[in-house]
Each structure stands twice: as C-alpha cells, then as structure tokens.
C-alpha cells in the first residue's frame, strides 16, 4: 500500500483536541476556579475516568437518558462491565465512601476532569466534555446550599459574568412528597395524553417529572398549566427552601423560581438550581446542581446529606469568548525572545536564558533554537508574542552585555550589561511601563 493510500487517523467525533492557541483560555479559567476553591475551603479529589457500570446505573437511575442511551459502556477482559464516567458526583461519592472520608465527619470536595456521553455533537455540547464540580457532605441545613450557590456566584463576579447569568431555583421536596406529586402529575398527563410527544409518553411510566423539562413547543401550554411540585412540598422541605431564599436575598443574590426545574438525574431531592444564560442560544445552562441526601445510602453507605453542582468548562469558555471577557494578558505567549545572532553565540544564549529564568521566575522566556540566518532569526522573534528580543553576538559576549531590541514599538534598541539585565527586564515588563 502506498503512503498516499494510508487512511489518516482522526479524533473521534465529538471529542476535541485542545490546541496551544486554546489552552491559555482554559488555564486562565482553571486558575480562577482553583483559587476560589481554596478560598472557600474545598479540597480537590481526583477519581478514575472508568468506573463499574453499576455505579452509574444505581446512582443516575436505570431509566434515565444517560444510562439508556448515552453511556460509553464496555466489558473488559474479565467480562466486567465498565463505563467511562458520564458525570462526576457518583465517582466522588464512591471514592469518599471507599476511603472513609465520610465517617463521622463533613467533607467539602471539588473535582475537575473529562466526562463522556454519547450525544449529538453541537456547539457547546460534546461527547467528551470537561466539568468542574463541588460536593459537600454531612451538612443538612440550607446554609450549605447557600454556600455552594454563593461560591458559584463569586466565580461569575470575578469572571465578569454576573450580569449575563440568571439563577433558577426549585425544590423537589422529600422522596415521600415527590411520590405523591408524581401520582398527581401522572393523572394530569393522562388527561392530556394526546398532547404528549413520543419521548414524554415513554417517560410517563418511567420518570414523569422529566416531562416537565421538555422543550417541545407543542407541549408548552399544557406544561405551564401542570400541577406544581412547590404546591405539594412537605413542611420540612418548604421551610428549608424558604430559609435558603432568605439567605440568598440577604447576600444580594437575585433568583427566579422555576417550578419546571427538575434536573436530569434521579438522585436529586429538595434544592435544585441552575445558572442559565441567553448569550449562547439554546444551550443556556452553564452550571447546575442541588441536594442528593439519599445518594450515599443508595450506594451502600450510611445516610449522609449532600449538596453539589457541576459546570461545563467548554460552555463557560465559549461564553467568556463570546463576551470577550478573557484578558489579553491571559492568552499566553512569551515576554522575551533570547536570540543568538549566530551559531557561535548559542552556548552563551542558553546560559543567559537559564540565568534569567532563575533570577526572574515569573518571566516567560523563549530561546531561539534551530539556527538559520540572522534575518530568519529576527523573523521568528517577530512572530513570537514577545515584546522584546535579547540579542547576543560576538560584541555582546566580549563586553559581557546584551542588546535589547523592542519588537512591538519604535523605541531604539539598547545595550545592557548582563549584570543589570534582570533588573532592567523587570522594570520594562512591569505593568504600566
């Protein structure tokens, strides 16, 4: 077979490479998140991307779209069913239980990493996507609900997103209240069976609350008139929700109550919330979460109250780009380009670059490699993002100096003694210089 006939191997549809031109945006966002988690007292946990399939079947629910249609599931060589994680909460709970993190103690954890779902790829939705999540265990009051919502709100403020997102709240009540409401809802939907689409008819017996989340415009009027879960809440859940809203109001957080907000995972109870935006069109949710007080027990642990949320990194990066909220200085590149003027100066240039990296740890410095004519070397310096080049030639080496060439303005180049080069660069690269 000729080389030209060899089929190129490409990335799997819906699973994208993160290129050097994009990674600085992610690093900017992830650094903001990491700093915020430390400030709020959350500790990072990292779990495998592959888990036993039973973990997700038991936690997410056997009859959810995720388990039925979207999971990447396979048998390993021991015929054990394994699944690429479709979300992070179940893995976090499994790890916390397995390693005794929940034994007579509270935990505030966060994670980040890739998740996998077999969905139709579209803008802001992929088959491999990345999430950042927060999980708090052992707290049963509304104060921790408020705390995790305030954490997300703080992130929006610091990213400049607060005026572009809306907080939607609802309460799913206790499992008993939800079961009674389920019967009421099914009876209502049965009366309007002819309006239901095929997907909703299927959910009528498996997960009728998810019908409320339908985006089918032909069902909108019927859904607007449906019985509301908020009217069927148990007393304790109602008090929990009222206290939460008072805490958010006291903190200056605006919200809207969305009675059709039910979330797509079976394990939620009481508080559920979403942060939505209109800046991305149809894919409006950028962060979602709520309480899941029964999940730890459902997976074999002791009853443990819990609350958390997850946000999609791809969608948030898209939002930040759309609104042009990522600072230019966060987009990577280098400050200085060290350029040996000929091959005889290469060793001196390498030594100088290493000395500067030691003296100025914050300096982003790129060393010219690969030889070439002086003209081609200058062209490479110009193509870099550096604001200046450090030139080293025979004269500079003899005089223990370097020549600074400014690449982005018309200042005259200047000769600087090597002993003063670090302090000179610090002054020239200081903000406002």
Sketch out the chain's domains with CATH numbers.
23-173+233-322 (3.30.930.10), 334-429 (3.40.50.800)
Digit-by-digit pLDDT tens for the chain (433 residues) are 555 678 899 999 999 999 988 999 999 999 999 999 999 999 999 999 999 999 988 887 655 666 667 888 999 999 999 999 999 999 999 999 999 999 888 999 999 999 999 988 777 678 999 999 999 999 999 999 999 999 999 999 999 999 999 999 999 888 888 888 888 888 888 888 887 888 788 887 777 877 887 778 888 888 888 888 888 888 999 999 999 999 999 999 999 999 888 765 667 888 999 999 998 876 589 999 999 998 999 899 999 999 999 999 999 999 999 999 988 767 777 899 999 999 999 999 999 999 999 999 988 999 999 989 999 999 999 988 899 999 999 999 999 999 999 998 889 999 999 999 999 999 998 876 6
Report the pLDDT value the prediction gives residue 392, as an integer from 0 to 100. Answer: 94
19 SS3 class: coil
Tell me the C-alpha to C-alpha distance, in Å, between residue 200 and each of 214, 241, 297.
8, 28, 30
Rounded Cα–Cα distance for residues 239 and 233 (Å) = 10
Element (H, E) at 392: strand 388-392
Radius of gyration in angstroms for the set of CA atoms belonging to the chain, rounded to a whole number = 28
Report the pLDDT value the prediction gives residue 366, as an integer from 0 to 100. Answer: 93
Q: Where are the beta strands (DSSP E) in 277-317?
A: 285-291, 306-312
How far separated are the first and last CA of the chain, in Å rounded?
Answer: 60
Apex CA 251: angle with CA 248 and CA 254, to 5°? Answer: 55
**DSSP state, residue 279:** T
**DSSP state, residue 66:** I
Q: Using the CB atoms, write b or e for 53-68: b if 16+ within 10 Å.
A: bebbbbbbbeebbbbe
Rounded Cα–Cα distance for residues 384 and 379 (Å) = 9
Report the pLDDT value the prediction gives residue 191, as an integer from 0 to 100. Answer: 85
Report the pLDDT value the prediction gives residue 182, as an integer from 0 to 100. Answer: 83
């Amino acid at each position: 077979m000729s080389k030209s006939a060899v089929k190129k191997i490409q990335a799997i549809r819906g699973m994208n490479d993160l290129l050097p031109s994009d990674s600085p945006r992610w690093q900017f966002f992830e650094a903001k998140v990491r700093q915020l988690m430390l400030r709020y007292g959350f500790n990072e946990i990292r779990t495998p991307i592959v888990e036993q399939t039973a973990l997700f079947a038991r936690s997410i629910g056997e009859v959810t779209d995720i388990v039925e249609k979207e999971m990447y599931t396979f048998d390993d060589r021991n015929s054990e069913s394994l699944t690429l994680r479709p979300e992070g909460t179940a893995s976090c709970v499994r790890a916390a239980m397995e390693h005794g993190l929940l034994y007579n103690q509270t935990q505030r954890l966060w994670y980040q990493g890739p998740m996998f779902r077999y969905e139709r790829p579209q803008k802001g939705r992929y088959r491999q996507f990345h999430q950042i999540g927060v999980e708090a265990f052992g707290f049963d009051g509304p104060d921790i609900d408020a705390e995790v919502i305030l954490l997300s709100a703080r992130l929006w403020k610091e990213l400049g997103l607060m005026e572009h997102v809306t907080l939607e709240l609802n309460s799913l009540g206790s499992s008993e209240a939800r079961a009674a409401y389920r019967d009421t809802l099914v009876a209502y939907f049965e009366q309007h069976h002819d309006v239901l689409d095929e997907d909703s008819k299927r959910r009528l017996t498996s997960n009728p609350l998810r019908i409320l989340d339908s985006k089918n415009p032909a069902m909108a009027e019927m859904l607007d008139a449906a019985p509301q879960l908020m009217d069927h809440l148990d007393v304790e859940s109602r008090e929990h929700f009222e206290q939460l809203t008072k805490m958010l109001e006291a903190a200056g957080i605006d919200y809207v109550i969305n009675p059709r907000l039910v979330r797509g995972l079976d394990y939620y109870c009481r508080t559920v919330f979403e942060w939505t935006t209109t800046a991305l069109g149809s894919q409006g949710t950028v962060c979602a979460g709520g309480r899941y007080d029964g999940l730890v027990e459902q997976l074999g642990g002791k009853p443990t109250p819990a609350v958390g949320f997850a946000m999609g990194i791809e969608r948030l990066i898209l939002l930040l780009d759309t609104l042009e909220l990522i600072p230019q200085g966060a987009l990577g590149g280098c400050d200085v380009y060290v350029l040996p003027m000929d091959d005889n100066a290469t060793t001196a240039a390498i030594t100088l670059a290493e000395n500067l990296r030691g003296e100025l740890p914050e300096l982003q410095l790129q060393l010219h490699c690969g030889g070439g004519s002086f003209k081609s070397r200058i062209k490479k310096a110009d193509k870099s993002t550096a604001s200046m080049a450090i030139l080293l030639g025979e004269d500079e080496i003899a005089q223990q100096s370097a020549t600074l060439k400014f690449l982005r303005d018309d200042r005259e180049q200047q000769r600087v003694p090597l002993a003063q080069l670090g302090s000179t660069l610090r002054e020239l690269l200081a903000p406002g210089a």
